[in-house]
Chains A and B, each alone.
Chain A
Amino acid sequence: MPVLSYLWIIPLLPLMGAAANGIFGGRWQKKVITAVALSSATLAFLLALEAVREFLTLFPNQIPWIRTYFTWISAGGFQADFALQVDQLTVIMLLVVTGVGWLIHIYSTGYMQDDPGYRRFFSYLNLFMFFMLVLILAANYLLMFVGWEGVGLCSYLLIGFFFLKQSATNAGNKAFWVNRIGDFGFLLGVLLIFRTFGSLDFATVLPRAAGMTADPAGQIGTLTAIALLLFVGAAGKSAQLPLYVWLPDAMEGPTPVSALIHAATMVTAGVYMVVRSHAIFLNAPVAMQVVGVIGCVTALFAATIGLVQTDIKKVLAYSTVSQLGYMFLACGVGAFGAGIFHLMTHAFFKGLLFLAAGSVIHAMGGEQDMRKMGGLRKKIPIAFWTMFVATLAIAGAPGFSGFFSKDEILNEAQVISPVLWGLGVLTAGLTSFYMFRLLFLTFFGRQRYDEHKVHVHESPRSMTIPLIVLAVLSVCGGWMAAPQLMGGVNHFEQFLAPALVTGAEPAAAAVESSGGGGEILQALLGAPVIAGLLGFLLAWWFYIKSPEAPKKLADSLSPLYKLFSGKYFIDELYQAAIVRPLVWISDKILWHAVDERAIDGAVNGVAFVSRESGDRLRRANTGNIRSYATWIVLGVVVFTSLLLWMVD
């Protein structure tokens, strides 16, 4: 087992790349830097493939495959090792991360070609790969937390990559801080886990958790508390309500970053974490409900905002939030497999969407406003076709990857609660609407930009090839689940199942069996598809047939429109309710009032008082011996009286 036993090599490679470029890269020219960065990513991918191959040869009893390398923290009764683990879940994530990551590395070499921060960019990107791999390979919560925080760091660095732009650095800070709020929850969750199970290793914690009796519905027991705390972390990392606010702003970063971190991999870490701890969630019904509802609401909520965005990347950002909502919905209804399945397909098509959008922006010379585009279909065909494919995928057009995953999620949701299902379907419709809106605005209609200012050109091959590869994946990425429609088995689920049955009684499996086996027709004419179709038609009507319609509609529904385009004014709310008061209190009250007035005032006050009393006292020294004599006699009288009257 060359690779599996030396698992640490996989994360280490990108780290080396990052270190090499970051520390010594200053003196190298671009070729070398590119070579280092790419080779590390590529090698990581290849080794991951090899690892998977070896993994498939393992016996079931060897899974999860855990390797402990060194003790990281140990104190008192506490110990956390640097231990990596591989099971089916990890394998999927591993492939997604290394694969998509690798493609995006390639893409970036083209996209960042002329950027002065080329070296910085790639060292950050490699570093991100490292932390992401640590996150998914970790065999205990603490090491997972390392990756968790690490990817947060990289996202901070990459969002603020153009650090000369105020908005970019603001976005970076916002991302990190909001994530920290999530981490606060995660950390407490971890602490509670340690307190409850006396360990943080998945191999110890999860079986025990599964073994425990579930918290009664509607009550918050230990497990529920853990689950909820963990979910706070997940919500922060995966941009769920109410912590999603950082993701849209994160689009300040370079587009490949948005594709890799803020679409394909990092933001899905929350989902991964929840799925990883499914044993805990399954015994915490309240937590499950919360997760499901939050996911579902987020999906709808973000979709509505996505309807009216004009910045091409913003649309995609909100769609990401919405899609993540789907994944949590899946988890919430116990369909962890489906969640991961959607995670994977989403990684393909959303990554593709971003990259394509990236090459559009590249072509437009940095322009991101869709209203200033249009009619690009002919000029950049590859971008168009790939994006078209991706759109179909995300809209859930039958046969495309998105179709299978989303369909499955909704099926499972239907079993648990029709309401969630309804909202999900509605969201599906909205999704296809805003995606096609994006497509039409960008590639169809008359061109709304100045031919002479920007000369639109197709991107270099380094960028187009990843597009094509991802397009292929977005099409057939979901076919593993296809047989299910023919009443067959869902290979994906089947593969994943062993990782998900650590639970004594896998609810997921149960749900799945009930949800499966519908026949093709029902699936094809299922509500999601219809909704998607409607969305498409609506978009076609608005943006091809009668382009003035949206204006009218916006005016007729202006309050609603304002609400959407104002993103429900959540940011403003946070500003007014939290940020400003906090700063004001810290500045005016805590610092100036408490620290300077009260405490220091008291200290200086003592000094002042003693100086004053000293001044009074020395006045006694009038220099006139008659008064001195008076004092002496006073003393005499007092002391003698003391002796004569008191002492006896």
Chain B
Amino acid sequence: MVPTSYYLVLSAVLFGLGVIAFIFKRNILTIFMSIELMLNAVNLAFVSFSRLLGQLQGQVFVFFVIVVAAAEAAVGLAIIILIHRNRGTLDVENVDSLKD
């Protein structure tokens, strides 16, 4: 059988990669994707924990997370569209009129 720690480490790695992506990417869309990546990592953690502990909650949480992700996606994409509409760019680094 596969030791749980493998899954957990994998989820940690994915989460970390998500974080790196968030900082590294410039396109708002991809940044948003990196958030999705992080959420997925969390899901993995949930699933493997639920399996480890033999409790189903973990898996239930995954549904909730997915729903939340969906909601965020709807709103986030709408905001992104607005940004693109008003500024004609998706590069976060050009969206910095609010500062200091």
Contacts and interface: CB of A to CB of B under 8 A. Distances in A.
Interface string A623-637: 111100110010000
Nearest to B92: A625
A624 B100 contact: no
Interface string B79-100: 0000000000000110111111
Given A633-B19, A633-B23, A626 B99 contact: no
A517 B26 CA distance: 123
A623 B23 contact: no
Interface stretch (A10-18, A547-555, A614-622): A614-622
B22 interface: yes
Interface in A592-648: 618-619, 621-626, 629-630, 633
A567 B31 CA distance: 96
A618 B92 contact: no
Interface residues of A, number: 11
B99 A623 contact: yes
A622 B95 CA distance: 11
A627 to B, nearest CB: 9
Nearest to A622: B99
Contact of A623 (B22, B26, B31, B100): B100
Nearest to A630: B23
Interface residues of B, number: 13
B96 A622 contact: yes
A623 B96 contact: yes
Given A633-B19, A633-B23, A626 B92 contact: yes
B6 to A, nearest CB: 21
Contacts of A618: 100
Contacts of A623: 96-100
A303 to B, nearest CB: 83
A140 B23 CA distance: 90
A629 B97 CA distance: 17
Contacts of A626: 23, 26, 92-93
Nearest to A625: B92
Contacts of B31: 625
B96 A624 contact: yes
A387 to B, nearest CB: 91
A258 B26 CA distance: 97
A397 B72 CA distance: 123
A630 B92 CA distance: 14
Nearest to B23: A629
A625 B96 CA distance: 8
Contacts of A622: 96, 99
Contacts of A619: 100
A625 B100 CA distance: 13
B15 to A, nearest CB: 11
A621 B93 CA distance: 13
A495 B9 CA distance: 120
Interface string B11-49: 000000001001100100001000000000000000000
B26 to A, nearest CB: 7
Contacts of B100: 618-619, 621, 623
Nearest to B94: A624
Contacts of A625: 31, 92, 95
Contacts of B22: 629
B86 to A, nearest CB: 16
A80 B77 CA distance: 92
A625 to B, nearest CB: 6
A374 to B, nearest CB: 90
A80 to B, nearest CB: 69
A626 B28 CA distance: 11
A619 B26 CA distance: 21
Contacts of A629: 22-23
A621 B96 CA distance: 10
Query: Which residue of B26, B93, B97, B98 has the most chain A CB atoms within 10 A of its CB atom?
Result: B93
Contacts of B96: 622-624
Nearest to A636: B19
B19 to A, nearest CB: 6
A626 B24 CA distance: 8
Nearest to B22: A629
Contacts of B98: 623
A621 B92 contact: no
A486 to B, nearest CB: 108
B31 to A, nearest CB: 8
B38 to A, nearest CB: 12
A77 B38 CA distance: 84
B23 A624 contact: no
B27 to A, nearest CB: 11
Contacts of B19: 633
Contacts of A621: 99-100
Nearest to B19: A633
Nearest to A615: B100
A223 to B, nearest CB: 77
A118 B97 CA distance: 82
B70 to A, nearest CB: 23
A618 B23 CA distance: 21
A7 B81 CA distance: 106
Interface in A349-371: none
Contacts of B92: 624-626
A618 B100 CA distance: 5
B21 to A, nearest CB: 10
Interface in A438-466: none
A308 B99 CA distance: 86
A633 B17 CA distance: 13
Contacts of B26: 626
B33 to A, nearest CB: 14
Nearest to B16: A633
B63 to A, nearest CB: 27
Nearest to B97: A623
Nearest to A633: B19
A630 B20 CA distance: 9
Contacts of B93: 624, 626
Pick the 9 closest A-B CB pairs, nearest first.
A623-B99, A623-B96, A624-B96, A629-B23, A618-B100, A629-B22, A623-B98, A621-B100, A621-B99
12 contacts: A621-B100, A622-B96, A622-B99, A623-B97, A624-B92, A624-B96, A624-B99, A626-B92, A629-B22, A629-B23, A630-B23, A633-B23
Given A623-B98, A629-B23, A630-B23, 12 more contacts: A618-B100, A621-B100, A622-B99, A623-B96, A623-B97, A624-B92, A624-B93, A624-B96, A625-B31, A625-B92, A626-B23, A633-B19
